[in-house]
């Protein structure tokens, strides 16, 4: 019997664990536990994803909540240690690049429990991003590095990680996207928001580098409002962004933009699939738009997901009003020429969850 302990904490983890849990259930000799750290705790950031993704209720919820990076990381570590002792797994499986990923990896590695990192090897080379620190730390201590794309393999090798620890498995989030695309379409979110059959833009922004500074957030909101003069702009707002707009008093800047609370997974995919374009700073949306063939403008100076540019629909743009407006105009012109096609990088095929279980559980 192989005992797996899967760790999730924040919104982007949930769509990654679902296909692995499913593949594990289908494999004899696998026993699985799901630990939720409680990094995200609002119904809109967590519970609704469990419903949409048909995830089982977590076996354990550490209930850590929000805090500074140090406080949140320390709380996760303290709360996770006794759970790890009690469940004594063969593997701790961590996902993505959030604080929960790094915190639980550290606890397991120091106890001599093997760590497998799903979505290993991605690098933005920007240590100003908290996620980049989480990726570096997790990858250096993990025993098995399960990579989503070939650039990730190359990054790990360049950092001196031995080949034996690296396993290319493809992009597990795409498993979820392909499995739920039809169900998402049936949720008819464009109809519910009055944009069905019309051009519209969908956007999300939550990176500290974009939303924690008043001037930068003001530039982004200004550009979204400019675009909203020509087509509906639907902005699904992360709690931290909502908080900052309020603190900085920027509501008026985005007067024409439709501001929505965070949406469920199915609503989001339903809206993205039929959008004219997506504007974002999310990691996941860069990948989802590539697979769906929807143009994506990412307001960041770098990306840890370069295949979304070389093989997909993504483009990096400045977080400045004029630069965003120019990029939007270029996308709309290219779209009118039929210029965007779905991209399908190697291993983005809906079978990554099965390959992850095959890597973890010996035959
Ligand atoms: C975290 C991840 C980020 C990921 C994002 C997706 C880290 C370092 N960052 O960022 O990589 O892209 O999740 O959403 O792990 N809040 C709520 N309700 C919640 C959760 C958070 O209101 O359920 C508010 C709190 O005010 C909190 C703030 O959002 O302080 C930030 O939450 P936090 O978990 O610290 O990071 P995210 O910005 O969500």
Pocket test for ligand 1, best of 8, 15, 39 (most atoms within 8 A of CB): 39
Is 135 part of any domain? yes
C-beta 73 within 6 A of ligand 1:
no
Is 55 part of any domain? yes
Is 342 part of any domain? no
Q: What is the pLDDT of residues 259-314, one digit of tens each?
A: 999 999 999 999 999 999 999 999 999 999 999 999 999 999 999 999 999 999 99
Is 341 part of any domain? no
Same domain, 213 and 331: yes
Residues sharing a CB contact under 8 Å with residue 6, sequence separation 6 or more, in sequence order? 17, 20, 21, 32, 33, 34, 35, 93, 95
Is 195 part of any domain? yes
Question: Count of CB atoms within 10 A of residue 294's CB?
Answer: 22
| Centroid of ligand 1 to alpha carbon of 76 (angstroms) | 14
Percentage of residues in the chain having pLDDT higher than 70: 100
| C-alpha torsion angle, residues 277, 283, 289, 295 (rounded to 10) | 40
Band of pLDDT at residue 337, cut at 50, 70 and 90: confident
Same domain, 32 and 60: yes
pLDDT at 363: 80
Percentage of residues in the chain having pLDDT higher than 90: 98
Same domain, 36 and 141: yes
Same domain, 18 and 81: yes
Is 120 part of any domain? yes
Mean pLDDT of 309-329: 98
DSSP 46: I
> Which residue's C-alpha comes closest to atom 22 of ligand 1?
239
Size (the chain), residues: 363
Distance CA 358, CA 21 (A): 12
What positions carry a catalytic annotation?
206
Q: What is the pLDDT of residues 159-181, one digit of tens each?
A: 999 999 999 999 999 999 999 99
Same domain, 143 and 239: no
Q: What is the pLDDT of residues 183-219, one digit of tens each?
A: 999 999 999 999 999 999 999 999 999 999 999 999 9
Is 205 part of any domain? yes
Domain residues for 272?
A: 180-336
Same domain, 216 and 137: no
pTM: predicted TM-score of the whole model, two decimal places? 0.97
Same domain, 261 and 331: yes
Distance CA 335, CA 147 (A): 32
Contact between 93 and 23 (Cβ < 8 Å):
no
Q: Which atom of ligand 1 is nearest to the CA of 206?
A: 38
| Centroid of ligand 1 to alpha carbon of 199 (angstroms) | 30
Distance CA 363, CA 358 (A): 8
pLDDT at 338: 74
Mean pLDDT of 101-122: 98
> Which residue's C-alpha comes closest to atom 28 of ligand 1?
240
Task: Name the domain count of the chain.
Answer: 2
pLDDT at 339: 80
C-beta 191 within 6 A of ligand 1:
no
Distance CA 130, CA 59 (A): 28
Distance CA 101, CA 205 (A): 22
pLDDT at 55: 98
Q: Which atom of ligand 1 is nearest to the CA of 240?
A: 29
pLDDT at 335: 84
Same domain, 67 and 112: yes
Cα–Cα separations (whole angstroms), residue 127 to 131, 151, 162, 212, 293: 8, 18, 23, 17, 30
| CATH number of 91's domain | 3.40.50.2000
| Centroid of ligand 1 to alpha carbon of 57 (angstroms) | 21
Three-state DSSP class for residue 138:
helix
C-beta 315 within 6 A of ligand 1:
no
Same domain, 141 and 224: no
Is 29 part of any domain? yes
Same domain, 320 and 353: no
Same domain, 18 and 104: yes
Closest to 120 measured CA to CA, from 154, 70, 77, 69: 154
Band of pLDDT at residue 92, cut at 50, 70 and 90: very high
Given a cut of 90, is residue 101 above it in pLDDT?
yes
Same domain, 273 and 305: yes
pLDDT at 336: 76
DSSP string computed for 226-294: HHHTTS-EEEE--HHHHHHHHHHT-GGGGTTSEEEPPPPHHHHHHHHHT-SEEEE--HHHHHHHHHHT-
Contact between 219 and 320 (Cβ < 8 Å):
yes
């Amino acid at each position: 019997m192989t005992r797996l302990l899967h760790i999730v904490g924040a919104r982007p983890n949930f769509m990654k664990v679902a296909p692995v849990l499913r593949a594990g259930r289908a494999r004899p000799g696998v026993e699985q536990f799901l630990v939720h750290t409680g990094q995200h705790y609002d119904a809109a950031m967590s519970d609704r994803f469990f419903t949409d993704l048909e995830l089982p209720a977590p076996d354990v919820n550490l209930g850590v909540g929000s805090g500074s990076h140090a406080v949140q990381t320390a709380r996760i570590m303290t709360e996770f240690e006794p759970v790890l002792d009690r469940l004594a797994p063969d593997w701790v499986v961590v996902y993505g690049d959030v604080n929960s990923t790094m915190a639980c990896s550290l606890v397991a590695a120091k106890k001599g429990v093997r760590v497998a990192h799903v979505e290993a090897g991605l690098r933005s080379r920007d240590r100003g991003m908290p996620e980049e620190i989480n990726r570096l730390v997790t990858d250096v201590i993990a025993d098995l590095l399960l990579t989503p794309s070939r650039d990730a393999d190359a990054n790990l090798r360049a950092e001196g990680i031995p080949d034996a620890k690296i396993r290319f498995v493809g992009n597990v989030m795409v498993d979820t996207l392909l499995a739920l695309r039809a169900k998402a379409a049936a949720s008819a979110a464009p109809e519910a928001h009055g944009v069905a059959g019309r051009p519209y833009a969908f956007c999300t922004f939550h990176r500290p580098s974009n939303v924690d500074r008043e001037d930068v957030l003001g530039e982004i909101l200004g550009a979204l409002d400019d675009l909203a003069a020509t087509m509906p702009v639907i902005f699904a707002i992360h709690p931290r962004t909502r908080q900052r707009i309020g603190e900085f008093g920027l509501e008026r800047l985005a007067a024409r933009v439709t501001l929505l609370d965070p949406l469920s997974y199915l609503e989001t995919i339903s809206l993205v699939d039929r959008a004219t374009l997506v504007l974002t700073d999310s990691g996941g949306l860069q990948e989802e738009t590539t697979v769906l063939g929807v143009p994506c403008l990412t307001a960041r100076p770098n990306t840890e997901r370069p295949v979304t540019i070389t093989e997909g629909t993504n483009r990096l743009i400045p977080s400045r009003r004029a630069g965003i407006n120019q990029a939007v105009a270029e996308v709309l012109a290219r779209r009118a020429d039929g210029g965007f096609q779905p991209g399908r990088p190697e291993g983005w095929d809906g079978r990554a969850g099965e390959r992850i279980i095959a890597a973890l559980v010996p035959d």
